[in-house]
Amino acid sequence: MSLLQVKNLVVEFPNRPWHLRALDHISFDIAPGEILGVVGESGAGKSLTGASIIGLLEPPGRVASGEILLEGRRIDNLPPEQMRQVRGRQIGAIFQDPLTSLNPLYSVGRQLIETITTHLPVNQAEARQRAIQLLRDTGIPAPEQRIDHFPHQFSGGMRQRVVIALALAAEPKLIVADEPTTALDVSIQAQIITLLKTICRERGAAVMLITHDMGVIAETCDRVAVMYAGRIAEIGPVHEVINQPAHPYTKGLMACIPDMSVDRERLHQIDGAMPRLNAIPRGCAYNPRCDRSFERCREQRPDLMPAGATRAACWLHDASSVLSVGEAA
């Protein structure tokens, strides 16, 4: 059974003279213990998807339709107070900049203890011991002393470890990690990736990892969803998506990654730019940038369909489209 199910999620920003549709019928699920990567260019809707799941959409953004279910229970329509309980107890969040997640006026211990006592039936002494153990588990040296330090007394990598400890404080079943390694140097990135994988394996928590880095995806995830202009372009096992991409956009992303075994003067680039929310083209949103588009791509928007070992929103994998293109040729 899936831990998280997102069904036909539509997120809109009501505005004059139009409604901006930022997410357009997004559907996916995450199994217990699984790491799902969500990747795409800036503006694709990755972070907005995560914010929708944890109930932190910035007004006037709203879930216009669709459902988000956690263990079969719908959570997208919960009152704010109930959603706060879900967010702390069942869903943990890790953000790109740890300073936005930590209160600079309180010690990290106070913040951990407050989270633990809010969601778990323990007293202050038990919560403190639990907080120390969380810091130890996330690789903070001398946690008995560091627990009383303030966020500014930690390095960037150590602050991110504290944020991970904070996300784990109430033993959540799902962790939404939004660009957790972007602000860190490469060696610290590797440590945080290893830590996330260990957490997933040992605690059985599912992780939704939002990033723009295909290297992080390849190293960390079981499956990957590639997003473009508020929709999922391709989703499938990470090895298949990376090595045999089925959507032209995914192929373009993979071609942009430098290959050390190939000697070339210029890196590949995808021509054009992601469309603005108020100017998404008719048909497939990627068609103006796609070198394999044909008439149907410009007229009809494709849904996800079987494409080998993955599913891709591309008419190239629809038998009737391929046949008609062949006849036209």
**DSSP for 84-97, written as a single string:** HHHHHHTEEEE-S-
Q: In residues, how long is the chain?
A: 329
Mean pLDDT, rounded, for 269-286: 89
Which regions of 15-85 does DSSP assign to beta strands (E)?
A: 19-30, 35-39, 62-70, 73-74
Distance CA 96, CA 98 (A): 6
Q: Give residue 277's pLDDT band: very low, low, confident or very high (50, 70, 90).
A: confident
Mean pLDDT, rounded, for 306-324: 84
Would you tell me how many other CB atoms lie within 10 Å of the CB of residue 76?
21
Q: Give the pLDDT confidence score for residue 17 in this predicted structure.
A: 67
Phi, psi of 28 (to 5 degrees): -165, 170
Question: For residue 328, is pLDDT > 50?
Answer: no
Span 82-138, pLDDT tens digits: 998 898 889 999 887 777 789 999 999 999 999 999 999 999 999 999 999 999 988
pTM of the model: 0.90
3-class secondary-structure state, position 39:
strand
Mean pLDDT, rounded, for 136-164: 92
As assigned by CATH, the class of the 4-90+172-260+267-328 domain is alpha beta
Half-sphere exposure (Cβ direction) of 291: Cα atoms closer than 13 Å: 5
Contact 324, 296 (CB under 8 A): yes
Distance CA 184, CA 29 (A): 29
Strand partners, 93: 176
Contact 128, 114 (CB under 8 A): no
**Which carries the bigger pLDDT value, residue 15 or residue 248?**
248
Q: Give residue 232's pLDDT band: very low, low, confident or very high (50, 70, 90).
A: very high
Question: For residue 323, is pLDDT > 70?
Answer: no
Residue 33 is inside which H or E element, if any?
A: none
Return the closest-CA partner of residue 222 out of 7, 69, 31.
31
Mean pLDDT, all residues of the chain: 89
Question: Percent of the chain scored above 90 by pLDDT?
Answer: 61
Q: For 96-105, 168-177, 246-255, which range has the lowest pLDDT when averaged over its residues?
A: 96-105
How is residue 302 annotated by DSSP?
P
Span 60-84, pLDDT tens digits: 889 999 999 999 999 999 999 999 8
Q: Give residue 162's pLDDT band: very low, low, confident or very high (50, 70, 90).
A: very high
Strand partners, 206: 174
Question: Percent of the chain scored above 70 by pLDDT?
Answer: 95
Distance CA 169, CA 96 (A): 18
Kindly state the tokens that stand for 136.
Answer: 């130890």
